Structure 1
């Protein structure tokens, strides 16, 4: 898949654990873990917005397109 999810990189930069992000965003740890592994087929804009707000980043910091 040409879309790479860099959620783990952003979590490390912000020194946050997945559980802490889950509590801030209101998405289960399991769903965030699946996203982090890049195994999702879609993400809601509201979820992406909440993650970006919690991590103080842009969507491009989390999602990367590679040919």
Structure 2
């Protein structure tokens, strides 16, 4: 996948635990884990907005585009 979620990095910088973040976001630990491990296929803008508010960051601090060689082969 070409979009990498650096949520764990931002959480470490802000010294917030998964339990605390999931409670503040209002999502389950399982769904937070899916985001943290780059297994999510999508993220709602409302969730991204809440993450940015809670972690005091910008979307670009959480999401990163990395060129995927496999994607180029399929074009």
CA RMSD of aligned residues (A): 0.6
TM-score (ref. length: structure 2): 0.86
Which 5+ residue runs of structure 2 have no aligned equivalent? 68-75
Runs of 4+ in structure 1 off by over 4 angstroms are none
What is the number of equivalent residue pairs in this alignment? 67
> 2 CA distance for matches of 1:58 and 1:29?
22
The structure with more radius of gyration: 2
Task: Quote the residue 1:10 is aligned against.
Answer: 10
Task: Quote the residue 2:47 is aligned against.
Answer: 47
TM-score (ref. length: structure 1): 0.96
